[in-house]
């Protein structure tokens, strides 16, 4: 079974631009979560989508948004990029959502997209 | 507000010895804890977990201990192997709505041959 794939793997943007990242979950998985990893903050939860609905959201500004399509693929968008948005963005898929399984395990992560904002 | 803390950024141990990775949490509502391992250029991979109704969970060379009164958990790796060299993240969640995963900042483990 193919793992979680993320595209692109590397991206360089300038301040003020916007960016869209893509994540394809493991086949059959309906939950997709996004995380931001930075050296100073570790992994921070952005949001979770399940069956095309946002089910959970972290403490990030509205510049960060996402969506999920009917085939469970998900996209994350960041508008008006800032230097501090430079990070590794990780996507994780699961066969169930936090609400139904009651715990946060069994997530499978993709390799991430390394975003650099200049 | 860092609810999950991994206060030591790095740990170096000799091959064959025990590695002990520590993690503290502040939110008493957390009831499920996990450890993830991450190699460079790869996403984190799930390692082991423990529910708050237990105080120990073992899986091969990996054992996680939970001390609820101290809000502390630890991951023991015995014996340590060079392939264990990676960044280890502690994570926690609570049952119910909005039970997202909260991660620590990670600890870099180096196992010397």
- Residues A46-56 have pLDDT tens digits of 999 988 999 88
Cα separation, B39 vs B63, in Å, equals: 20
CA B62: distance to chain centroid? 10
Q: State the nearest Cα–Cα gap between B64 and chain A, in angstroms.
A: 15
pLDDT in tens, A78-118: 999 999 999 999 999 987 665 444 444 578 899 999 999 99
- A45 close to B (CB below 8 A): yes
Cα separation, A71 vs B87, in Å, equals: 32
pLDDT at residue B97 tops 70: no
CB-CB: which of B36, B99, B103 is closest to A102?
A: B99
Q: Are B105 and B22 in contact (CB under 8 A)?
A: no
CB contact under 8 A, A43 and B41: no
**pLDDT level of residue A14 (50, 70, 90 thresholds):** very high
DSSP 8-class letter at A50: E
CB contact under 8 A, A102 and B106: no
Other C-beta atoms within 10 Å of B49: how many? Answer: 20
H or E segment to which residue A94 belongs = strand A87-94
**pLDDT level of residue B112 (50, 70, 90 thresholds):** very high
The number of C-alpha atoms within 13 Å of A51 and in the hemisphere containing its C-beta is 5
Cα separation, A6 vs A75, in Å, equals: 10
Cα separation, B103 vs B35, in Å, equals: 9
Between A27 and B101, whose confidence is greater?
A27
Determine the residue among B6, B44, B104 to mutate to test chain A binding: the one whose Cβ has the most chain A Cβ atoms within 10 Å: B44
Please report the residues numbered 25 through 44 in chain B whose beta carbons come closer than 8 angstroms to any beta carbon of chain A: 31-32, 34, 36, 41-44
């Amino acid at each position: 079974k193919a793992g979680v794939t993320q595209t692109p793997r590397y991206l360089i943007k300038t301040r003020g631009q916007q960016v869209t990242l893509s994540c394809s979950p493991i086949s059959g998985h309906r939950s997709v979560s996004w995380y931001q990893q930075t050296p100073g903050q570790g992994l921070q939860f952005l949001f979770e989508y399940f069956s095309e609905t946002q089910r959970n959201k972290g403490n990030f500004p509205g510049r960060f948004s996402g969506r999920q399509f009917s085939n469970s693929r998900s996209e994350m968008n960041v508008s008006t990029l800032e230097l501090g948005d430079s990070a590794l963005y990780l996507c994780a898929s699961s066969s169930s959502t936090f609400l139904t399984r009651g715990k946060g395990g069994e997530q499978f992560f993709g390799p991430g997209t390394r975003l650099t904002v200049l | 507000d860092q609810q999950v803390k991994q206060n030591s950024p790095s740990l170096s141990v000799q091959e064959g010895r025990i590695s002990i990775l520590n993690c503290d949490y502040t939110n008493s509502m957390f009831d499920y804890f996990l450890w993830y391992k991450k190699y460079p250029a790869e996403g984190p991979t799930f390692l082991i977990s423990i529910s708050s109704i237990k105080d120990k969970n073992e899986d091969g060379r990996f054992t996680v201990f939970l001390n609820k009164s101290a809000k502390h958990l630890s991951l023991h790796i015995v014996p340590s192997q060079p392939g264990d060299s990676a960044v280890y993240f502690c994570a926690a969640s609570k049952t119910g709505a909005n039970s997202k995963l909260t991660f620590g900042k990670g600890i870099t483990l180096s196992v010397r041959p």
